[in-house]
Amino acid sequence: MDMATHLNIVASGLLTGLVYGLAALGLSVIFGVVRVVNFAHGEVMVIGMYGAVVAFGLLGLDPILAAPIVAAVLFGGGWVLQRVLINRFVEYSEAKQFILMLGVATIVVNALLMIFGPDARGVMVDYALDTYEIGPLLLDAVRLYAAAAAILATLALFAFFRFSRTGKAIRACADNPLGARVIGLNIDGLYALTFGIGTAVAGFAGSLMTLLVDTRPAMASDYTMLSFVIVIIGGLGSLPGALLGGLLIGVTEAVAGFLLEPSLKSLFSYLVLIVVLLVRPQGLLGRRS
Amino acid sequence: VNRRAWVLFLAFAVLLALAPLAADRYTLSVLTTLVWFAYLGQSWNVMMGFAGLLSLGHALYVGLGAYASAALFVHFGIGPWAGLWVAMAVAGAAGGFIGFLGFRFGVRGVHFALLTIAFAEVARIAFDHIGWLGGSAGFFLPVAPRMSLPDLRLPPIGFYYVILVLMLGALALSRWLLHSRLGYRWLAIRENADAAAAVGIDLFSARIAAVAVSAAMAALGGVFQAFYFNSLFPEQAFAMGRSIEIILPVIIGGIGTLFGPILGALILTPLGEGLTWAIGALGLDLPGLKQFVYGGVLVAIIVYLPNGVWPWLAAKLGISQGGEGGR
């Protein structure tokens, strides 16, 4: 096997990893600020995927253009969910949060199953089979575009948390909820906002994923686990960490899926997770609490 | 525990013991599954309810126990009564090892829970590729030519009484553990680990003990699984879904209480079967509808009774709940 093939696999793994990283960012934000274990994250992502599939099927809308619309709708959904349901679980143990989110996930997945059926649905954009030749690399157009959109969304998210007043307030909330309350921040409002941002990001990433894979309700729990693995590898509450974790898992999956059986690819993601948890429990870029 | 509680409990035990007399084949299989989950839930409760350690990969220990005893039986002709000790040792050691790794490196809370999931998932994928144990095609125990207690080849009613005895045994063990020195250490650690360490409790060894005991108990449930169902598939035995099935009854019943895991199984198993029946009777053949309603019921229970149904019911019955519930 030649060098170019290897490079190609790593490069497409990195591009997919950027979308994974974006999805994981949504989870990381929720985890870091609201401190709720969102075990329905992959389910939200799959809602986003179906949003893009429907937008393409009915309006012929490109998933990249559908992504912001899907994200806006899911922001509202996440905001309401946090307000009416999840907010009262913020102080409960992880086991109870787990069951609550598991219930939500079960409802979402089976609602999708009832509406769309179990079969895979794809999006066939007209550039689906195009490739770009960059030096020795031969890259799928869909993967490049999805990755570019993921980078844009990631930068927007970073800018929001870095520069906007609301973003700074949310970070203050994450650092010290009590202190944030003392200086007069509306914690419950910021939690709802954060949860909405998290679900919006998941929906955005989900829309982009439709360019890379077909959509089935059953894939939701895999995406939940994938996002968790990435967030823990990168470091809880660290946004650059989530991105790095996404790239790492993207490449791991691509390489393992190519060199070994595809059925073994998630094995290696979990092995990476175990190693990281044991060697650096706070994650690659996380801080010790 | 007061007099009224004992009377109610004895009535409950007698009811379970007599239930097969009025049950057809189908009801008996549902009852057996119910009691099996009541047993497995108690094993998880030792870790989470007593010691405050969240395991989301408990299927690992059940699966290891099942595969260990089945492998001994199929490949070496060693019966389950001898095999169960090996099964419990294997799972206990696996649990102790995961605990050792995790606690040694200060992995806690959600991180520890994810570590348990990761090991269960690794086992699931690895067992898919172990040909000696059937791989993903499944591992099958020979169907018995005749009934035999030493080989645990029993009629369905026999299996029911085996798991019923195990389930009541686990209850007795849990009660004893809760009032042992170790149990009090666990509760202290669960409530406030720093304070527990400050009064001289060795957190590390107490936590490892919790994982090992819980894993060994789960493994015994796995031995039962192997010989009752006669077939094992990695995709079921180690699945995240199996872990969830083990956990749910405990949280719905009441984490950290003695009777909660049993009550939870009494609620959830009939709920699942009842939904299947109701949806069939209404002629609504829509895939996903049953799970959709099930998810809704879960959310409703956890929202309205976040401490579980048992603390609420025990208060209504005017008896002590037995074991203080966790947060």
What pLDDT is stored for residue A288 in this prediction? 58
**Least Cα separation, residue B45 to chain A (angstroms):** 11
Mutate to test the interface with B, among A27, A43, A50, A106 (most CBs of B within 10 A): A106
- What are the φ/ψ torsions at residue B122 (nearest 5 degrees)? -60, -45
Residues of chain B with pLDDT under 70: 1, 145, 322-327
Mutate to test the interface with A, among B251, B255, B275, B276 (most CBs of A within 10 A): B251
Cross-chain Cβ contact A99/B111 below 8 Å: no
Residue whose C-alpha is closest to residue A289's, from B84, B110, B63: B110
What would the pLDDT profile of B220-245 be if each residue is shown by its tens digit? 999 999 999 999 999 999 998 899 99
Q: How far apart are the first and last CA of chain B?
A: 21
Cross-chain Cβ contact A103/B296 below 8 Å: yes
CA atoms lying within 13 Å on the CB side of residue A239: 21
* Pairwise CA distance, residues A121 & B144, whole Å: 46
Name the closest residue on chain A to residue B122, using Cα atoms: A267
Residue whose C-alpha is closest to residue B13's, from B157, B165, B154: B165
- Given a contact cutoff of 8 angstroms between Cβ atoms, the answer to whether A210 and A53 are in contact is yes
| Binding-face residues of A in 236-255 toward B, CB within 8 A | 236
CA atoms lying within 13 Å on the CB side of residue B27: 8
Cross-chain Cβ contact B114/A273 below 8 Å: yes
- Compute the count of residue pairs across chains A and B with CB atoms less than 8 Å apart: 130
Cross-chain Cβ contact B326/A93 below 8 Å: yes
Name the closest residue on chain B to residue A227, using Cα atoms: B114
- Given a contact cutoff of 8 angstroms between Cβ atoms, the answer to whether B125 and A266 are in contact is yes
Residue A134: how many CB atoms within 10 A of its CB? 10
**Least Cα separation, residue A213 to chain B (angstroms):** 22
Cross-chain Cβ contact B106/A281 below 8 Å: yes
What pLDDT is stored for residue A260 in this prediction? 79
What pLDDT is stored for residue B280 in this prediction? 85
DSSP string, A238-288: -HHHHHHHHHHHHHHHHHHHHHS-GGGHHHHHHHHHHHHHHH-TT-SSPPP
Give chain B's radius of gyration (CA, Å): 20
Sequence-distant (≥ 6) Cβ neighbours of residue B83 within 8 angstroms:
B68, B69, B72, B73, B223
User: Quick one: angle between helices B240-253 and B25-45, nearest 10?
Assistant: 80
What pLDDT is stored for residue B327 in this prediction? 45
Q: How many residues does chain A have?
A: 289
- Given a contact cutoff of 8 angstroms between Cβ atoms, the answer to whether B67 and B297 are in contact is no
Chain A contact set for B255 (CB, 8 A):
93, 95-96
- Given a contact cutoff of 8 angstroms between Cβ atoms, the answer to whether A50 and A210 are in contact is no
Nearest to A94 among B110, B122, B252 (CB): B110
**Least Cα separation, residue B168 to chain A (angstroms):** 25
What pLDDT is stored for residue B69 in this prediction? 95
B109: left (phi > 0), else alpha (psi -120 to 50), else beta? left
Chain B contact set for A110 (CB, 8 A):
288-292, 295
**Least Cα separation, residue B220 to chain A (angstroms):** 24
- Given a contact cutoff of 8 angstroms between Cβ atoms, the answer to whether B138 and B63 are in contact is no
Name the closest residue on chain B to residue A36, using Cα atoms: B110
Cross-chain Cβ contact A93/B298 below 8 Å: no
* Pairwise CA distance, residues A11 & B24, whole Å: 60
What would the pLDDT profile of B120-138 be if each residue is shown by its tens digit? 999 999 999 898 998 889 9
Nearest to B118 among A274, A279, A281 (CB): A274
Chain B contact set for A262 (CB, 8 A):
none
| Binding-face residues of A in 84-113 toward B, CB within 8 A | 85, 88-89, 92-96, 98-100, 102-107, 109-113
Residue B48: how many CB atoms within 10 A of its CB? 26
* Pairwise CA distance, residues A96 & B304, whole Å: 12
Structure tokens at B123: 């086992």
Q: Which residues pair with A134 in a beta bridge?
A: A137
The secondary element (H helix, E strand) that includes residue A132 is strand A131-134
Chain A contact set for B327 (CB, 8 A):
92-93, 96
* Pairwise CA distance, residues B70 & B84, whole Å: 10
What pLDDT is stored for residue B37 in this prediction? 96
Residue whose C-alpha is closest to residue A91's, from A34, A39, A172, A175: A34
* Pairwise CA distance, residues A219 & A19, whole Å: 16
Residues of chain A with pLDDT under 70: 1, 288-289
Mutate to test the interface with B, among A43, A99, A114, A252 (most CBs of B within 10 A): A99
Cross-chain Cβ contact B298/A279 below 8 Å: no
Residue whose C-alpha is closest to residue B230's, from B140, B151, B148: B140
Please tell me the pTM assigned to this model: 0.90
- Given a contact cutoff of 8 angstroms between Cβ atoms, the answer to whether B86 and B68 are in contact is yes
User: Quick one: angle between helices A141-163 and A3-33, nearest 10?
Assistant: 30
Q: Does A4 touch chain B (CB under 8 A)?
A: no
Nearest to A100 among B105, B290, B302 (CB): B302
What pLDDT is stored for residue A1 in this prediction? 60
- What are the φ/ψ torsions at residue B215 (nearest 5 degrees)? -65, -40
Chain B contact set for A112 (CB, 8 A):
288
